[in-house]
Structure 1
Amino acid sequence: MPLFNVYPLYDVTPVSGKGIYVYDEKGNEYLDLYGGHAVISIGHAHPKYVAAISNQVAALGFYSNAVQNPLQVTLAERLETLSGCEGYELFLCNSGAEANENALKLASFKTNKKRVVAFSNGFHGRTSAAVAVTDNKNIIAPINSQQAVTILPLNDIEGVKRELEKGDVCAVIVEFIQGVGGLDQGTAEFFEQVDLLCKANNTFFIADEVQSGYGRSGKFFAFQHYNVTPDVISIAKGMGNGFPIGGILIHPSIEAKFGMLGTTFGGNHLACAAGLSVLSVIEGEKLMDNVNEMSCYFVKLAKTIPQIKAIKGKGLMIGLEFDFEVGDLRKELIYKHHIFTGGAMNKNLLRILPPLTIRKEHINMFFEALVEVLSEVEELEVEN
C-alpha cells in the first residue's frame, strides 16, 4: 500500500539523533536547526528524556482518563511553577491543533457565541475550527469554511474593536510570534489593547503558544513579553520533545463541567512522563537563559551579512528574510552542508528553530555555511 502523497520530501532519511544532530542511514551527520517544526526543545535523545520514557513504558504506558493519574497532577504543578501562570488549570490533549480546537470550543461554550477573530498569515492547525481560523485557503475544505471567522491584519486595533462590539465574537486567537506565517509580530500596544477589548466584550483572548511556548521566545511564553492575561493558552510542540502531547492552560475564572472537553489519548502516562522530563531539563539546564544568550549571538552574526534584509522573531524562533526565495538556499544547506532549516509562507524567509540546547559553535557552523552558499549564488548571478 503506498503512502498518501501529501508531503514534498527531501531525500534525507534520519535514523537517529543526539543533541542538536541527526544522522541518516549512511551515517551522515546533520546539524538540526529546525527541530522538526520546533518540536525538539531539549535535544534529540536527551538521556533524562530517554530514561523517563523508558521507565514509564516499562511500568504503564497508557490508561484512560476514567481513572486517577497522579502524573497529570504533577505535570500541572510543575508547569504552573515554571511558566509563572499561577492559578491556571490544565487540560491535556495530543497536539497543537487539538489544543486550539479545545480552546475555541471552550470559548464558544462559555460565551454562547460562535464567531472568531483571527489574523492574516496566522496558522493554528488543521482540524475543523483550528484550520478555519488559519489564514490559508488552500488547506480549508468546504466543511471547514462553515465556521464563522473574520480574518484581520495584525495591528488593526480599530478592526478588532469594530468586530468585538458587534457582540457575536466568542474568541480572538493570536500567535504572539507567527510561525508558519513568517515570524511577524504585533506591537505591544496592539496586543495589550486586544486584551482589554476582549475583557470588555465577553470575548476569550486565546494565546496560541504551540510553537512559541516552552522557552523558545526567551520567556516561558511569548505573551509574557507583554502586559496581557490570556483566558486560554494553547501548548504543544516543544512540550514533549517529540512525544505527541498538547494542552490548554485555562484561566481560573473559567469553571469546568463534566463532559465539556474530553480525549482518549490526551494526558496518558507516557506523555506525562515525557512532559515532566522536558520541564526538568528546561529548569535544570537553565535553557531559557541559554535561549537569550544564543539569540543575541545569532542576531549579532546575522547583522554582519548584507544579504539578510530583515531579522524577525524572538529568542530561538528566528526568521532571516532575503530579497529572493530561499527554497534553493535551503536545498544547498541540507544537501551540501548537512544543515536543516525551515521555510514559511513568506517564501523569502529562512526559519531557524533549533533545540534550546544550541551552542555558539553550532551557530558559527551555520553562518559559515550560509556565507559560502550566498557567495556561490552571487557568483552564479555575475556569470549569468
Structure 2
Amino acid sequence: MPLFDVYPLYNVTPVSGKGVHVYDDKGIEYLDLYGGHAVISIGHAHPNYVKAIKNQVETLGFYSNAIQNPLQKQLADKLEDLSGCKDYELFLCNSGAEANENALKLASFKTGKKRVIAFEKGFHGRTSAAVAATDNKNIIAPINAQQAVTILPLNDIEAVKTELEKGDVCAVIVEFIQGVGGLDQGTKTFFEEVDKLCKANNTMFIADEVQSGYARSGKFFAYQHYNVTPDVISIAKGMGNGFPIGGILIHPSIESKYGMLGTTFGGNHLACAAGLAVLNTIEDENLIDNVNKIGAYFVEKAKEIPQIKKVKGRGLMLGLEFDFEVGDLRKDLIYNYHMFTGGAANKKLLRILPPLNVKKAHIDQFFEALKKAL
C-alpha cells in the first residue's frame, strides 16, 4: 500500500540518533539543529529518557483514564515547580493541535461564546478549530471554515479592542514567538494590553506555547518574558522529546466538570514517563541556563556573516533572515554539510531549533558550514 503523499521529503533516512546528532542508513552523521520541529528538547536517546521509557514499558505501557495514574500527578507537580505556574491545573492529551483544540473548546465552554481572534502568520495546528485559527488558507477545508475566527494583524491593539468589544469573542490565541510563521513577535505593550482587554471583556487569553514552551525561549514559557497571565497555556513538542504528548495548563478560574474534556491516549503511562524524564533533565542539567548562554553566543556568531540581514527569535528558537529564499541553502546544508535546519512560511528565513543541550562547538560547526555554503 502506498503512503498518502502529503510530505515533500529530503533523500535522507535517519536510523539512529545520539545527543545533537542523527545517523542515516549509510552511516553518515548529521548535526541536528532542527530537532524535528523543536520536538527534540533534551537530545536524541538521552540515557535518562531511554531508561525511563524502558522501565515503564516493561511495567505498564497503557491503561485508560478510567483508573488512577499517579504518574499524571507527578508530571503535573514537576511541571508546576519548573514552570512557576502555581495553582494551574493540567489536562493531558497527545499533540499540539489537540492541546489548542481543547484550549479553544474550554474557552467557549467558560464564556458561552464562540468567536476566536488569532493573528496573521500564526499556526495553531491542523484539527478543526485549531486550523481555522491558523493563517494559511491552503490547509483550511470547507468543514473547518465553519468556525468563527477573525485573523488580525500582530501589534494592532486597536483592532483587537474593536473586535473584543463586540462581545462575542471566547478566546484570543497567540504565539508569543511565531514558529511556522517565521519567528515574528508582538511588542511588550501589545501583549500586555491584549491580556488586559481579554480580562475586561470576558474573553480567555490562550498562550500557544506548543513550540516556544519548555525552556525553548530562555524562560520556561515565552509568555513569561511579559507581564501577562494566560487563562490557558497549550504545550506539546519538546514536552516528550519525541514521544507524543501534549496538554493544557488551565487557570483555576475555569471550573472543571466530568465529561467536559476527554481523551483515550492522553496522559498514558508511557507518555508521563517520557514527560517526567524531560522535566527532570531540564532541571538536572540546568538547560534553561544553557539556552540563554548558547542563544546569546549564536546571535554574536551570526553578526560575523554579512549575508544575514536579521536574527529573529529568542533563546534557542531562532531564525536567520536573508535577502533570498533559503530552500537551496537548506538542501546544501543537508546534502553537502550534513546539517538539519528548518524553513518557515517566510521563505527567506532559516529556522534553528536545536536540542536545548547543544554546545558552542556545534554552533561553531554550523557557522563554518554556513559561511562555506554562502
Q: TM-score, normalised by structure 2?
A: 1.00
Q: Which amino acid aligns with 2:327?
A: G
Question: SS of the counterpart of 2:145?
Answer: helix
User: Which residue does 1:87 correspond to in 2?
Assistant: 87
Aligned residue runs from structure 1 range 20-59, under 5 A: 20-59=20-59
Q: CA RMSD in A?
A: 0.3
Structure 1 residue ranges, 4+ long, deviating more than 6 angstroms after superposition: none
Note the C-alpha offset of 1:253.
1.0
Matched with 1:138 is 138
Q: Using the alignment, how far apart are the partners of 2:82 and 2:287 within structure 1?
A: 12
Count of residue pairs the alignment pairs up: 374
Offset at 1:56?
Answer: 0.1
Give the Cα separation in 2 of the matches to 1:46 and 1:159.
46
Letter in 2 for 1:56: Q
Alignment of 1:150-189 (within 5 A): 150-189=150-189
**Counterpart code for 2:213:** G
Asked if 1:235 corresponds to 2:235, the answer is yes
Whichever residue aligns with residue 345 of structure 2, its letter is M
User: What's the secondary structure of 1:270's corresponding residue?
Assistant: helix
Structure 2 residue matching 1:252: 3-state secondary structure: coil
- Specify the alignment match of 1:378 in structure 2: none
- List gaps (5 residues or longer) in structure 1: 375-384
Deviations 1:316-355 (A, max 9, x none): 0000000000000000000000000000000000000000
Aligned to 2:292: 292
2:256 matches 1:251: no
Quote the Cα distance in structure 2 between the aligned partners of 1:267 and 1:290. 29
- Counterpart of 1:117? 117
Q: Which SS does the other structure have where 1:215 is aligned?
A: coil
- 1-side partners of 2:120 and 2:311: how far apart? 20
Q: Give a deviation string over 1:130-164, Cα, whole Å, max 9, x none.
A: 00000000000000000000000000100000000
1:347 aligns with 2:355: no
Q: Tell me the distance in 2 between the aligned counterparts of 1:114 and 1:163.
A: 13
Supply the distance in 1 between the matched residues of 2:317 and 2:294 (Cα, whole angstroms). 11
2:203 paired residue number = 203
- 1:9, CA displacement in angstroms? 0.1
Specify the alignment match of 2:265 in structure 1.
Answer: 265
Deviations 1:271-314 (A, max 9, x none): 00000000000000000000000001000000111100110000
Structure 1 CA distance, aligned partners of 2:110 and 2:228? 20
Provide TM-score, normalisation by structure 1: 0.97
AA partner of residue 62 (structure 2): F
**Hey, what's the Cα distance between the residues in 2 that align with 1:284 and 1:170?**
39
Aligned equivalents of 1:170, 1:253: Cα separation in 2: 15
**Counterpart for residue 373 of structure 2:** 373
In the aligned structure 1, how far is the partner of 2:252 from the partner of 2:52?
30
- The within-5 A match list for 1:98-113 is 98-113=98-113
Alignment of 1:261-340 (within 5 A): 261-340=261-340
SS of the counterpart of 2:206?
A: strand
1:13 aligns with 2:40: no
Percent identical residues: 82
Output the CA distance in 2 between the equivalents of 1:149 and 1:129. Answer: 9
List per-residue Cα deviations over 1:218-270 (Å, max 9, x = no partner). Answer: 00000000000000000000000000000000001110010000000000000
Q: How far apart in 2 are the matches of 1:304 and 1:219?
A: 27
* Residue 149 (1) aligns with residue 144 (2): no
Provide the rounded CA distance (Å) in 2 between the counterparts of 1:258 and 1:304.
57
Distance 2:234 2:111 in 1: 18
AA at the equivalent of 1:240: G
Match for residue 73 of structure 1? Answer: 73
Give how far 1:373 is off.
0.6
CA–CA distance in structure 2, aligned partners of residues 192 and 28 of structure 1: 47
Displacement after TM superposition at 1:19 (Å): 0.1
CA distance in 1, matches of 2:74, 2:332: 45
The amino acid of 2:169's aligned partner reads V
Aligned mates of 2:357, 2:20 — CA distance in 1: 7
Q: Distance in 2 between matches of 1:334 and 1:154?
A: 33
Distance 1:83 1:252 in 2: 16
**Equivalent residue letter for 2:361:** E
The separation in 2 between residues aligned to 1:306 and 1:27, in whole angstroms, is 34
Structure 2 stretches lacking a partner, 5+ long: none
Distance 2:152 2:3 in 1: 37
Distance 1:303 1:120 in 2: 29
Amino acid paired to 2:350: L
State the AA in 2 paired with 1:355: P
